[in-house]
Structure 1
Amino acid sequence: MPDYGHDLQFGVILLPEAASPAAATRLAEAADTAGLDLLSVPDHPYRPDLLDAWTVLSVVAARTERLRVFPNVANLPLRPPAVLARSAASLDLLTGGRTELALGAGAYWDDIAAQGGPRYTPGEAFDALTEAIEVVRALWTPGPPATVPGTHHRLTGTPPGPFPVHRMEIWLGALGPRMLRLIGRTADGWLPSMTRIPPDRLPAANALIDDAARKAGRSPGEIRRLYNLPGIPSGSTGEWAEQLAELALTHGMSAFLLSVDSADAVRLFAREVAPRVRELVAARR
């Protein structure tokens, strides 16, 4: 698989536990100070042990200066896309362009249904995600009242706005072949997790995305590949950096999000691993 030539970005995934509400802001401030690029928060609105993702992102964004923030990934079945579009655009305006949007089709359907959400079949979840992308983009586009037909999500003459400060991207956390092809046709990025899509499965997945992109008249290079990392691996930081550099150069992964629970892990990733990865990739390019 090719190196798509994207700039390298590094960030963290914070799990905002309700029992320790101040921990997320402390780790976010550490990530901002250490010079990382991205900060994300899992979105599980049905879990009472976790703080609400969008509330955390808003507070974190107010406490930092350079980090771009996003949900990893927004739980679409419990967050109507029209409201999600306006929420994300509002946070982008408030942060001066430091918000992105990552969407997920849904999982944990028993928990979603128990909270009043839908219980989609795989086909319905795919259709709902496809419609949601159209709804979000329509509300981010200046113009007359927007109309988007759909079975699960629709607009019927809805005024668009507010509008993001920058061209906000839509990244999809998706796994199956149909979802990967959807990314190739319509999304700005792919956000898998290493625990779900290990490196040996990246070539086949990237090939599906790239083929769909070309058929849609797009360049595969338009689609950023992000990667959720489960935590600090065993071995030296140099070995870890070499592994990430290889993922960038061989599989096109260009943004790496590390799950962290301590400021030490944040600083290790930002100050020892990320610079070395950049050096290795720059030398090979």
Structure 2
Amino acid sequence: MSDYGHPLAFGAFLTPGNAEPGRVVGLAMLAEQVGFDLVTFQDHPYQPAFLDTWTLMSFVAARTGTVRLAANVTNLPLRPPAVLARAVASLDLLSGGRVELGLGAGAFWEAIEAMGGRRLSPGQGVRALAEAIDVIRQVWDVDARGGVRVDGEFHRVVGAKRGPAPAHDVGIWLGAYKPRMLALTGRRADGWLPSLGYLQPGDLGRGNTIIDDAAREAGREPADVRRLLNVTGRFAPVGRGPLHGPAEQWAEELADLALSDGVGTFILGSDDPEDLRRFAAEVAPAVRELVAGERAAGAAAAVTPATPGAVEARAAPGGAGARPPDAARPPAGAAPLAVVPTPDDGVRRSAIRLWDEATRPTGPAPDPARTYSPHDQAGAQHLVDVHDGLRAELTRLYDLVEQVGAGLVDAGTARSHINTMTIRQNKWTLGTYCESYCRVVTTHHTLEDRGIFPHLRRGDDRLAPVLDRLEQEHHAIHDVLERVDRALVAFVSVADGMAELRAAVDLLSDTLLSHLAYEERELVEPIARLGLN
């Protein structure tokens, strides 16, 4: 088993079709809105039905603000490495450090030859890729003396000026399957990026072994190489095979790949918006929780000291030094609650007040002596993470309104973007947390018959006044969102439509930020204490 301990990341793998050029851009924007860490695109320069990947990535970088971007993977035989290095560094600088470099040795050689590229044998392709990595890294290394010099079999650069340097340490990820490519990955690359559909059972383990051995021989640590994986599948009510079933099944299978085969980044190959939403809202959080729980349990077991007399104490219940029964012992890794709610800054933009914050009920005071397991804390932390995503979407909504006011985006396009946001997709009468998470953690139950609010009511009836108030506020937020939508519709026909639109968004900001802070303040501890099912 190989768990390299990498922080988990989740990405999308999109088709750059040119029949509807705006569609792939919209999918990339949606991926950012629903919380993906990474968006990647196929790179097949010989495919006339596709947009050019690097042109597309530049356009997407300008339309997004946080998500990282990469080709999956760049077709090296048609992209000279010195020019590619400058393109990568330039886009990384323009995007604020959001570009990574996936590289492949080449495939579909007839199409590559038709475009003017050179056909290479598998061995030649590996050597050409190794030379290209040398060129790229030298171009980026602006602190070294002299020009770029690689006098290779396939790539020859004789004194080219260095630079620009990227905004961050760009990762070079190789699409590798065969031993020579895997060994090159271990020696020189920052990541291994295969596709699960091209692998046979055991290939991940065998590939890890080759990469790890090559890394050690090169004086590197195996964990220096991130393990990424393109995955595809189908969501279904019941399991029908690997990655073909409900979100809970997906989460368990991906968590196993993370813990057993060291995969730290999962990239979903799908152009279906609903697949992207479900993967981000249901699968990714559950995988994070499962992996965090297993890692915490393993760490706790690893640091537990073997004290003298422990065996005798276990053999003599009730005797001196005897351990308490399991029910009385805190879980492994238990600690005081470390989840910090995001506070309300108290700033209000609108003169309208939909509720009196002073009348909000409060729940029971937490027990200061209580401890919580990593699993407990992960559930509570996810509430804050989901809310932080909604706060980020509110910022993007303001940006959209300003674009509408400046004439850069029409009202219809703005409505379309807003309607794909989680902030709009949430069924607010059920609660933001339920909509994005409850389906994952209530195995064998539907969202309607067993959400988090009913579970908390059953677990602690003292929370009832708080939950009642939160549900009332959910209805109010739904109405405010409808007001924003009406203001967008009216914008094109009302003389002072921009003022009305800004007022509607200001009211949304006031109500949403106030509500999210209140919900976190009251529910973070109960979620950690009572769990989710």
Tell me the residue number matched to 1:41: 41
Cα deviation for residue 234 of structure 1 reads 1.7
Q: Which AA in structure 2 matches 1:180?
A: L
Greater shift in the superposed pair: 104-113 or 18-27: 18-27
Correspondence 1:247 to 2:247? no
- CA distance in 1 between partners of 2:90 and 2:211 (Å): 30
Distance apart, 1:198 and its partner CA: 4.2
**Distance in 1, Cα, partners of 2:3 & 2:126:** 28
Higher relative contact order (CA 8 A, sep 6+): 1
- In 1, the alpha carbon distance for the partners of 2:164 and 2:246 equals 46
1:164 alignment partner, SS class: coil
Q: Which residue of 1 aligns with 2:278?
A: 268
Cα deviation, residue 4, structure 1: 0.1
For residue 253 of structure 1, give the secondary structure of its aligned residue in structure 2. coil
The one-letter code sitting in structure 1 at the alignment partner of 2:250 is: W
Query: What is the deviation of 1:199?
Result: 5.0
For the residues of structure 2 that align with 1:30 and 1:231, how far apart are their CA atoms?
19
Q: Deviations over 1:89-146 (max 9, x none)?
A: 0000000000000100000000000111101111211110010000000000013312
Greater shift in the superposed pair: 48-57 or 194-203: 194-203
Deviates more, 1:259-268 or 1:185-194: 259-268
> Match for residue 223 of structure 1?
225
- What pairs with 1:47-126 in structure 2 (closer than 5 Å)? 47-126=47-126
1:176 and 2:188 are equivalent in the alignment: no
Structure 1 runs, 4 residues or longer, greater than 2 Å off: 230-233
Q: Residues of 1 paired with 2:268 and 2:10: CA distance?
A: 8
Contact 2:38–2:69, Cα closer than 8 Å, also in 1 = yes
Q: 1:138 maps to which residue? A: 138
Quickly say closer, same or farther: Cα 1:199–1:29, change in 2 above 3 A.
farther
User: What is the distance in 2 between the residues matched to 1:189 and 1:234?
Assistant: 27
Q: Distance in 2 between matches of 1:51 and 1:222?
A: 33
User: SS of 1:210's equivalent?
Assistant: helix
- Aligned residue for 2:287? 277
Among 140, 151, 166, the alignment partner of 1:149 is 151
Gap runs ≥5 in structure 2 = 235-242, 296-533
Aligned pair count reads 285
What secondary structure sits across from 1:195 in the alignment? helix
Question: As a proportion of its length, which structure holds more helix?
Answer: 2
For residues 35 and 154 of structure 1, the distance between their equivalents in structure 2, rounded to whole angstroms, comes to 42
Identity of aligned residues (%): 54
Kept in 2: contact 1:81–1:132 (CA 8 A): yes
Asked if the contact 1:187–1:223 (Cα under 8 Å) also holds between the matched residues in 2, the reply is yes
Distance 1:154 1:101 in 2: 21
Deviation at 1:165, TM superposition (A): 0.5
Give the secondary-structure state (helix, strand or coil) at the position aligned to 2:187: helix
Specify whether residues 81 and 4 from structure 1 end up closer, same or farther in structure 2 by C-alpha distance, changes over 3 A only. same
Question: Aligned partners of 1:187, 1:126: CA distance in 2, in Å?
Answer: 13
Give the structure with the larger strand fraction: 1
CA offsets per residue over residues 16-73 of structure 1, 9 Å max, x none? 1111111111101110100110000010000001111001111111111111001000
Partner of 2:369: none
Aligned to 2:210: 208
Partner Cα distance (1:169, 1:226) in 2: 12
Residue 57 of structure 1 aligns to which amino acid in structure 2?
M
The structure with more radius of gyration: 2
